[in-house]
């Protein structure tokens, strides 16, 4: 009896550790690097724990525990923005982070409960069903209620052996393949004598190995390398919007660096200029426009735009000789930060953060053309949504040659959020075979080539200037082609296959 009780308690002891390992695999706190093998191993442990002869309710609760710990460990730094900078009492901020993780973890709990309820016959069908339903949960988390897919399992593989799949099936597809591998490992103890199991495993290994040898047809150089300067102001977040400290510091430092730069392109981060144009000192923006209008340089500068009557946008302004100012407006807004969800005004009122409802820009806005390159800006966590960036690839003649991310994640302190966001940008580089340049307030300011290699970078939380060259690329990856036309629907159909397959069973139960 004692041994049986210990056996029943073992999964409940292992699952929190496995969930924490899943969080660490995205970017380790000690080095910032992703660990693909840890992501697979921790997910395999979950699969083993829920494949035991237990009730569906236990599967739901075990998965919920794993997912809640995983997601809390992934974006725990939201606590800093709410408590340290927002002034929310620490207990309430901690409860808010835990509640968000528990809510999002519910997608995985329900998906795995359905997997157990459906109980496909045989390990191979069960593995395929596990991967599809895990993919379904990832897609739901990434799309419903505007989506928050930060820390999706596929990001752990940006340096791993599955990275070659990114330009074909994207980060969600990689996550599904990793889930299939994890499920296969969990079934190994009971299926290792099965010839069909090993035959299927061998076919999968050979197929993946063959795919790695497929010559890329989407990797083409576009124009001459572009010299760039990226600015990292490191304006303290608790002073950034203060009129006596952070605002004058930002206006002075960025104006000096923008005009002192000697490269062809200069990029300043999100809200580098923290005031609306009509709030700026007289002639400030005009002097920058005149500087870049008369030489051989161009700039992209993060700045809020708009008015009380028209609404506000989190924007990027582009200045170059012989052309009107370019404008990009952020499309994918941050819940609670840039728009307030219905019924949650009371929550945002508790925090001392400049919150508001911003207007959304459109999907697929034109690129900023300069020196033979088409530069496609995106603001902060917009680069988390590759399917939206893909909208710019419908017409290959207008497709971006370089992505430009401008960010300010100073809200989250000197935490692993910086490394996590860097790997998100690196995954976009792989999916689209495009370089990504990142200008941020506190990090990670970097130049990433089209193969996701960081070629230049600044130390986080330093005030510094990064110079280097970036080589634009042309061509269209398979992912960019189908995602630009179909969105994520091909993956949705694969993810929904187990649900659609279970409909006859549901009808029979309803009939009885």
What tens digit of pLDDT does each residue of 310-330 get? Answer: 889 999 999 999 999 999 999
pLDDT mean over 99-111: 96
More confident residue, 359 or 75: 75
445-502 pLDDT tens trace: 999 999 999 999 999 999 999 999 999 999 999 999 999 999 999 999 999 998 887 7
Q: What is this structure's pTM?
A: 0.93
Query: Mean pLDDT lowest for which of 71-80, 301-310, 356-365, 407-416?
Result: 356-365
Residue in 284, 228, 221, 223 with CA at minimum distance from that of residue 252: 284
Q: What is the pLDDT of residue 354?
A: 63
Q: What is the pLDDT of residue 501?
A: 79
Backbone φ, ψ for residue 403 (5° rounding): -95, 145
Query: pLDDT category, 39, cuts 50, 70, 90?
Result: very high
Q: What is the pLDDT of residue 347?
A: 66
Report long-range pairs for 55-62 (Cβ below 8 Å, ≥24 apart): 56/113, 56/116, 56/117, 57/113, 59/112, 59/113, 59/115, 59/116, 60/109, 60/110, 60/112, 60/113, 61/109, 62/11, 62/12, 62/15
pLDDT mean over 208-225: 72
- Alpha-carbon distance of 248 to 242, in angstroms, equals 9
pLDDT mean over 60-88: 94
pLDDT of residue 1 exceeding 50, the answer is no
Q: What is the pLDDT of residue 221?
A: 83
pLDDT of residue 18 exceeding 80, the answer is yes
pLDDT of residue 511 exceeding 90, the answer is no
Residue in 225, 119, 150 with CA at minimum distance from that of residue 415: 150
Contacts of 425 (CB under 8 A, 6+ apart): 383, 403, 405, 436, 438, 446, 448
Q: What is the pLDDT of residue 499?
A: 87
Number of neighbours of residue 254 by Cβ within 10 angstroms: 23
Q: What is the mean pLDDT of the chain?
A: 90
Strand pairing class (473-474; 311-319): unpaired
Contact 100, 456 (CB under 8 A): no
pLDDT mean over 378-387: 95
pLDDT mean over 303-312: 88
Residue in 483, 486, 361 with CA at minimum distance from that of residue 432: 483
Tokens of 219: 């990797």
Q: What is the pLDDT of residue 218?
A: 66
Residue in 100, 110, 111 with CA at minimum distance from that of residue 151: 100
- Alpha-carbon distance of 503 to 465, in angstroms, equals 58
Contact 88, 82 (CB under 8 A): yes
pLDDT mean over 48-73: 95
Contact 228, 468 (CB under 8 A): yes
- Alpha-carbon distance of 124 to 392, in angstroms, equals 38
389-431 pLDDT tens trace: 999 999 999 999 999 999 999 889 999 999 999 999 999 999 9
Q: What is the pLDDT of residue 11?
A: 83
DSSP code per residue over 324-390: PPEEEE--SPPBTTTB--TT-HHHHTTS-S----PPPPPTTPPPEEETTEEEEEEEGGGGG-HHHHG
pLDDT of residue 86 exceeding 70, the answer is yes
DSSP code per residue over 445-504: -EEE-TTS-EEEE--TT--EEEEEEE--EES--HHHHHHHHHTTHHHHHHHHHHHHHHHH
**Could you give the residue ranges of the DSSP H alpha helices within 166-245?**
166-191, 195-212
Tokens of 504: 């006859």
Contact 333, 339 (CB under 8 A): yes
120-157 pLDDT tens trace: 667 778 888 999 999 999 999 999 988 999 999 999 99
163-198 pLDDT tens trace: 999 999 999 999 999 999 999 888 876 666 666 666
Contact 218, 473 (CB under 8 A): no
Active-site amino acid positions: 270, 330, 380
């Amino acid at each position: 009896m004692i041994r049986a009780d210990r056996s029943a308690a073992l999964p409940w002891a292992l699952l929190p550790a496995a969930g924490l390992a899943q969080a660490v695999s995205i970017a380790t706190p000690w080095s910032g690097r992703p660990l693909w093998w840890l992501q697979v191993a921790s997910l395999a442990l979950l699969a083993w724990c829920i494949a035991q002869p237990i009730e569906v309710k236990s599967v739901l609760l075990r998965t919920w525990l794993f997912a809640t710990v995983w997601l809390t460990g992934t974006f725990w730094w939201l606590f800093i923005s709410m408590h340290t900078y927002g002034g929310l009492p620490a207990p309430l901020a901690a409860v808010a982070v835990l509640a968000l993780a528990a809510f999002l973890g519910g997608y995985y709990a329900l998906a795995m409960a359905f997997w157990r309820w459906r109980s496909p016959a045989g390990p191979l069908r069960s593995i395929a069903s596990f991967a599809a339903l895990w993919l379904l949960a990832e897609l739901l988390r990434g799309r419903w209620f505007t989506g928050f897919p930060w820390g999706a399992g596929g990001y752990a593989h940006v340096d791993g052996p599955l990275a070659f799949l990114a330009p074909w099936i994207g980060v969600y597809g990689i996550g599904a393949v990793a889930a299939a591998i994890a499920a296969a490992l969990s079934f190994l103890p009971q299926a290792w004598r099965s010839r069909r199991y090993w035959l299927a495993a061998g076919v999968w290994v050979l197929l993946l190995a063959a795919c790695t040898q497929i010559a890329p047809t989407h990797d083409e150089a576009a124009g001459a390398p572009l010299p760039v300067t990226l600015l990292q102001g490191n304006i303290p977040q608790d002073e950034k919007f203060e009129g006596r400290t952070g605002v004058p510091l930002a206006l002075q430092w960025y104006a000096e660096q923008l005009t002192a730069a000697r490269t062809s392109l200069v990029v300043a981060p999100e809200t580098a200029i923290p005031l609306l144009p009509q709030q700026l000192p007289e002639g400030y923006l005009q002097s920058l426009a005149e500087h870049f209008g008369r030489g051989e340089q161009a700039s992209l500068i993060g700045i809020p735009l708009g008015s009380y009557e028209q609404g506000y946008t989190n924007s990027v302004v582009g200045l170059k000789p012989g052309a009107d100012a370019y404008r990009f407006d952020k499309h994918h807004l941050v819940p609670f930060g840039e728009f307030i969800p219905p019924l949650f005004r009371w929550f945002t009122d508790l925090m001392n953060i400049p919150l508001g409802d911003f207007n959304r820009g459109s999907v697929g806005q034109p690129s900023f053309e300069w020196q033979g390159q088409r530069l496609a800006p995106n603001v902060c966590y917009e680069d988390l949504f590759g399917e939206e960036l893909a909208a710019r690839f419908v017409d290959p003649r207008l497709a971006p040659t370089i992505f430009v991310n401008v960010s300010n994640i100073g809200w989250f302190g000197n935490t692993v959020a910086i490394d996590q966001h860097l790997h998100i940008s690196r995954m976009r580089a792989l999916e689209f075979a495009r370089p990504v340049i990142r200008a941020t307030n506190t990090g990670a300011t970097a130049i990433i080539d089209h193969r996701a290699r960081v070629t230049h970078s600044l130390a986080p939380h330093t005030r510094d200037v990064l110079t280097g060259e970036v080589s634009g690329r042309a061509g269209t990856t398979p992912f960019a082609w189908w995602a630009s036309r179909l969105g994520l629907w091909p993956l949705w159909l694969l993810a929904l296959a187990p649900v659609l397959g279970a409909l006859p069973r549901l009808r029979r139960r309803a009939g009885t």
